[in-house]
């Protein structure tokens, strides 16, 4: 899995998913006003900020099926903010993997 962000998204506002049967689906609007659907993998807190980890919910030419997309969660404004710093993206992804492994080891 990679930890790259989806460059095509701007001012990401989470929209409610239309049908609750699919679980935690987040719909984002790209630069061309297209709706892009993601599955919420997890929300993690790292260095005082919350981050969402998303997977493509349907085939998409911009995001690989196993690619993890990470956004900073701005709870105050209820938006997902893109992360421009590749180093921070890697840190958040590595932190998430470490937490997931530790959680798996506890079970």
Show Cβ contacts of residue 5 under 8 Å, excluding neighbours closer than 6 positions: 69, 70, 71, 82, 83, 84, 89
Q: What band does 87 get if pLDDT is binned at 50, 70 and 90?
A: very high
Residue 5 lies in a domain: no
**Does residue 3 lie within any of the structural domains?**
no
Residue 82 domain-assigned (yes or no): yes
Look at the block and give the residue holding tokens 């990470």.
70
Domain-located, residue 89: yes
pLDDT digits (tens, 9 = 90+) for 68-85: 999 999 999 988 999 999
Residue at 68 is within a domain: yes
The mean predicted confidence, pLDDT, of the chain is 79
For residue 41, give its domain range: 12-106
pLDDT exceeds cutoff 80 at 4: no
Token digits for 61? 């030419």
**What's residue 13's pLDDT?**
42
The pTM assigned to this predicted structure is 0.72
Confidence at residue 50, expressed as pLDDT on a 0 to 100 scale: 96
Query: For 41-72, what is each residue's pLDDT tens digit?
Result: 999 999 999 999 999 998 878 888 888 999 99
Task: Tell the burial category of 41 from Cβ atoms under 10 Å away from its Cβ (0-12, 13-18, 19+).
Answer: middle
Q: How many structural domains compose the chain?
A: 1
């Amino acid at each position: 899995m990679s930890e790259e962000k989806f460059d095509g998204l701007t001012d990401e506002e989470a929209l409610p998913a239309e049908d609750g049967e699919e679980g935690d689906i987040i719909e984002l609007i790209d630069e061309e006003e297209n709706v892009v659907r993601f599955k919420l993998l997890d929300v993690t807190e790292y260095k005082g900020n919350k981050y969402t980890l998303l997977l493509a919910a349907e085939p998409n030419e911009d995001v690989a099926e196993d690619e993890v997309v990470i956004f900073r969660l701005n709870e105050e404004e209820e938006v997902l903010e893109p992360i421009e710093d590749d180093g921070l993206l890697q840190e958040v992804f590595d932190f998430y993997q470490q937490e997931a492994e530790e959680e798996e080891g506890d079970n």
